[in-house]
């Protein structure tokens, strides 16, 4: 399957909330014709209604791709509505958290190509990273899934579905860790005498800027850290606290990611 098939046969988007809208914006900006997209969503946004896509109307008999982007709590109601698309002619791409490939195979049939994706919230601004993995019939659909998901950021491929839980702990939940870092860095600045608004501005820009630098440099983050750490200077003094092997960030982050990954395993059990 390639993107030509998506244009010719159509793409059905089941659910178009924040993540679905972010992806749709990217596709339309990349030149996917609105006439090639069918969206099924019970509460479409004003923006969605103005895109020119087919909205809540009859979908094609055999679209190239069904993209599932509904909330987990809506999955039980939404999937049976699309079950007739199973059988192999339509690939299923899911960005819904917590729903394993096996569940889609139950609904759509064993021969249905299924690609499971784990994006993260920066996809909403085109800066996400998404991990993808497929069942055996879905291997041929990985290229088109990657092409579509690249509209909202980077895409990586996993060797097996079990790795999704670790991905959830690192990049799926990771933005919340970074947001909390901004909160705590700002609070620490305020504790040292800065006005809270100024401390937040400094913390927000520092974390965002360091992230961009890490991406653009493409260097080992440990080397970037060393490059800004003068011997016996202020940064070293702070890092000695942060990098303490017993009470610093390394053991804390290990526990954080492990807890998120463990919860992800519980939710799919």
Assigned fold of 174-268? ProC C-terminal domain-like fold (1.10.3730)
Q: Is 267 left (phi over 0), alpha (psi -120 to 50) or beta?
A: alpha
Which of the four pLDDT bands, split at 50, 70 and 90, describes residue 259? Answer: very high
pLDDT averaged over every residue in the chain: 92
pLDDT in tens, 232-243: 999 999 999 999
The CATH number corresponding to 3-164 among 3.40.50.720, 3.30.230.70, 2.30.110.10, 1.10.10.10 equals 3.40.50.720
Which of 268 and 94 is assigned the larger pLDDT?
94
Domain boundaries for CATH 1.10.3730.10 within the chain: 174-268
pLDDT in tens, 117-153: 999 989 888 899 999 999 999 999 999 999 999 988 9
Domain boundaries for CATH 3.40.50.720 within the chain: 3-164
- pLDDT score for 1: 54
Lay out the sheet containing 114-118: strands in order across.
Answer: 54-55, 37-40, 11-14, 65-68, 91-94, 114-118, 128-134, 153-157
- pLDDT score for 217: 73
Give CA–CA dist 260/244, Å, rounded: 23
pLDDT in tens, 25-79: 888 988 899 999 999 998 999 999 999 999 998 889 999 999 999 987 788 888 8
């Amino acid at each position: 399957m390639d993107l030509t098939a998506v244009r010719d046969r159509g793409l059905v988007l089941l659910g178009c909330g924040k993540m679905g809208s972010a992806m749709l914006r990217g596709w339309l900006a990349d030149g996917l014709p609105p006439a090639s997209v069918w969206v099924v969503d019970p509460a479409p946004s004003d923006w969605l209604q103005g895109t020119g896509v087919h909205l809540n109307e009859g979908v094609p008999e055999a679209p190239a791709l069904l993209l599932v982007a509904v909330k987990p709590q809506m999955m039980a109601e939404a999937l049976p509505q699309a079950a007739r698309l199973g059988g192999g002619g339509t690939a299923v791409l899911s960005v819904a958290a917590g729903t394993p490939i096996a569940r889609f195979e139950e609904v759509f049939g064993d021969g249905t190509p299924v690609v499971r994706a784990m994006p993260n919230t920066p996809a909403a601004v085109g800066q996400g990273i998404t991990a993808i993995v497929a069942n055996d019939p879905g291997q041929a659909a990985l290229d088109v899934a990657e092409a579509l998901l690249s509209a909202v950021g980077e895409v990586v491929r996993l060797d097996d579905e079990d790795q999704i839980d670790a991905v959830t702990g690192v990049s799926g939940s990771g933005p919340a860790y970074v947001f909390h870092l901004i909160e705590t860095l700002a609070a620490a600045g305020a504790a040292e005498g800065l006005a809270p608004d100024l401390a937040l501005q400094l913390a927000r820009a520092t974390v965002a800027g360091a992230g961009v630098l890490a991406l653009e440099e493409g260097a080992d983050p440990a080397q970037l850290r060393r490059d800004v750490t003068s011997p016996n200077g202020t940064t070293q003094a702070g890092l000695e606290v942060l990098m303490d092997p017993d009470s610093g960030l390394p053991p804390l982050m290990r526990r954080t990611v492990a807890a998120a990954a463990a919860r992800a395993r519980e939710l799919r059990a």
